[in-house]
Amino acid sequence: MAVIRIEDFFYAYPPLLPEGQPIEVLHGVNLSVERGEFLAIMGPTGVGKTTLCLSMNGLVPQATGGVARGHVVVLGHDTRTTPVAELATRVGIVYQDPESQLFCPTVEEEVAFGPENLGLDPAEIAERVSWALQVVGMEAYRQRSPSHLSGGQKQRLAIAASLAMLPKVLILDEPTAGLDPVGQAEVFGVIERLCRERRMTIVMVSQDAERIARFADRLAIMWQGRIVRVDAPPRIFTDQAFLEEVGLAAPQVSELAVALNRRWGTGYRFTLLEEAEEALRRDLRGGQISS
């Protein structure tokens, strides 16, 4: 059952100048996301990935204005007509820069802010806060100021604040961009738990091909304002001609497979490191390749 259904969605931002033309960004996007699926979105800079994310919680076009055609339906609600405040109880969104979402004095207050604005009973708010902090592994930081957290911790806090609203769908727009490897691992660890243990529907924009190959159920490629391909990550990441056409890089281990094939005339197609290790150990033992 599709939780998100996007049909022929076109969007253009308002012109920068009164006499200017609308700025076209999305050109007939079609996409569906199933319940409990982890869908990753990749594409070069400027193809409309963030705009597409914002269309899933109604900020585009309700807050941005502009011209919109087609349909974006999330959990049965048309995001062009359903109030953003109502969608926020069903669709959580985490942006690339977590500091743009954090404004409360403590971690605990940050997570409680959304449920408090729903007018919930204090006992339920406390329960939601504890649960959300436990999910992202931030229980020990309840009384810490968000300004004193690392980049990865801030992003985990932003995710917890979204989870406290008990959304059915979580959208993440490049949540690991700019983080160091430790921060990236922390954020992806949370996302993996949400997918595998909670079966939450997740849509994530990311350029981290290695982790997308490992965790995502499907990968959607955006190019020139459209979704041009949706497939399992291994099928896309081993299609070198397609990746070159849309200007994307495969996981490094997939690029290694290409290099080995050129050198030895093999037919390797790796997307995960353990796949490469298993195949190379097997072929070295069997004498099919030489060290």
| Domains (range + CATH), the chain | 1-90+171-176+198-239 (3.40.50.300), 251-286 (no CATH)
Mind listing the pLDDT tens digit for each residue in 130-144?
A: 999 999 999 999 999
Structure tokens at 248: 């994307």
Q: What is the pLDDT averaged over residues 199-226? A: 94
Average pLDDT, the chain: 93
Mind listing the pLDDT tens digit for each residue in 30-74?
A: 999 999 999 999 999 999 999 999 999 999 999 999 999 999 999
Q: What is the pLDDT averaged over residues 10-26? A: 94
Give the distance, in angstroms, between the CA of residue 259 and the centroid of all CA atoms in the same chain: 30
What number of CA atoms fall less than 13 Å from residue 257's CA on the CB side?
23
CA dist 157 and 69 (Å) reads 35
CA dist 268 and 7 (Å) reads 37
The pTM of this model reads: 0.90
CA dist 139 and 181 (Å) reads 22
Tell whether the model's pLDDT for residue 286 goes beyond 90: no
CA dist 144 and 171 (Å) reads 26
Name residue, tokens 């037919």.
267
Tell whether the model's pLDDT for residue 101 goes beyond 90: no
Q: Among 250, 212, 224, which residue's Cα sits nearest to residue 41?
A: 212
Q: What is the pLDDT averaged over residues 92-99? A: 88
pLDDT at position 13 is 97
CA dist 171 and 91 (Å) reads 7
Mind listing the pLDDT tens digit for each residue in 227-273?
A: 999 999 999 999 989 999 999 999 999 988 989 898 888 989 989 88
CA dist 196 and 42 (Å) reads 22
Q: What is the pLDDT averaged over residues 206-228? A: 95
